[in-house]
Amino acid sequence: MRGTAPLAAAALALAGLGCRRSPAPYGAHTAFVPVAFRSNNPGRPPWAPRIEVTNTSAAPSTVRLTRWPPDAADSESTIFDLAPGETRTVPSRVPLASVSSFFFEAGSPFLVRAEIVDRRRIAPSLAVPVLKAEDLAKPGDRLTLGPIVDTPGERSHFCFTYPGVERDALPFRIHLRLTAPGGGALLWEGTFVLTGLPLVIDDPWKRFHLAPGTAFDVDVAFLGSARSRPVARGMWVYGITTDRATAASRFLETRVVRGSAR
């Protein structure tokens, strides 16, 4: 599974958001879906997110979802009123061919299940890891994952993502190091500011001037808000490796090292 994030399409989707502030916290219980992706690229599976939210408490519950980016300003936030034990399918409402994230909040416990599916039901679906807000990297933390590969059989990409409730703190500043797998030689490093939207690195070999096919690990030090604003929840980096023959994909393990950013 591979994707790009066309900034022009995302900008059109966000045009109605203007200078709106981040929403206030909605509850202590949270769930973060790092990727919701919808595509219709010729020659590739037509991917779509399938996400469900379940009220696991014994009382009625209200769950707020924040999409980032949404497909339109009025779909950035959705409120779900759920009876005890009720499960609701979440409308995707994300831009075509642009990676989005979903952030759920509630005052009582709930469960979120997420996957990305081939609408033709040919390629295997991809189960998406669902995180809690406390799992995300905070300023001063490091995120590591790998290996990112490009072989005749498999190809990887990675993505920087964050909840939409971080809008006041964005953009984020990071220091990125790419090393040979297993803590090997340094291949590239640099400090830069991310965009205000999730950023897919679909072809890192071209972007970072690496030799084609070079395998590497990713090491991200989260330096904080480029505007020196408080970070409400944090950020995440995920990697996906896809089998070229079957289009089957898997998430690479992302590890968080607390308080170790350089």
Asked if residue 207 and residue 112 are part of one domain, the reply reads no
pLDDT at residue 118 is higher than 50: yes
Quick one: pLDDT at residue 20? 64
Does residue 142 share a domain with residue 128?
Answer: no
Domain closes at, from 135, 166, 187: 135
Whether 141 and 112 share a structural domain = no
**If you average pLDDT over residues 251-262, what whole number do you get?**
88
| The predicted structure's pLDDT at residue 103 | 98
Same domain, 152 and 208: yes
**Residue 21: per-residue pLDDT:** 66
Q: Does residue 3 register a pLDDT over 80?
A: no
Whichever domain contains 39, its CATH number is 2.60.290.11
Together in a domain, 173 and 183:
yes
Tell me: pLDDT of 4 over 50.
no
Q: What is the mean pLDDT of residues 243-261?
A: 92
CA dihedral 200, 201, 202, 205 (to 10 degrees): 180
Burial of 172 (0-12, 13-18, 19+ CB in 10 A): buried
Domain count, the chain: 2
Q: Are 52 and 89 in contact (CB under 8 A)?
A: yes
Type of residue at 203: D
If you average pLDDT over residues 122-137, what whole number do you get? 96
pLDDT in tens, 137-160: 999 999 999 999 999 999 999 999
List CB contacts of 134: < 8 A, sequence separation 6 or more: none
* pLDDT the model gives residue 19: 55
Say yes or no: 121 and 142 in one domain.
no
CA distance 177 to 43: 33
pLDDT of residue 97: 85
Q: Residue 74's domain spans which residues?
A: 15-135
User: Which tens digit of pLDDT belongs to each residue from 5-49?
Assistant: 444 445 544 544 445 666 787 889 999 999 999 888 777 788 999
**For 205-246, what is each residue's pLDDT tens digit?**
999 999 999 999 999 999 999 999 999 999 999 999 999 999
Report pLDDT for 254.
Answer: 98
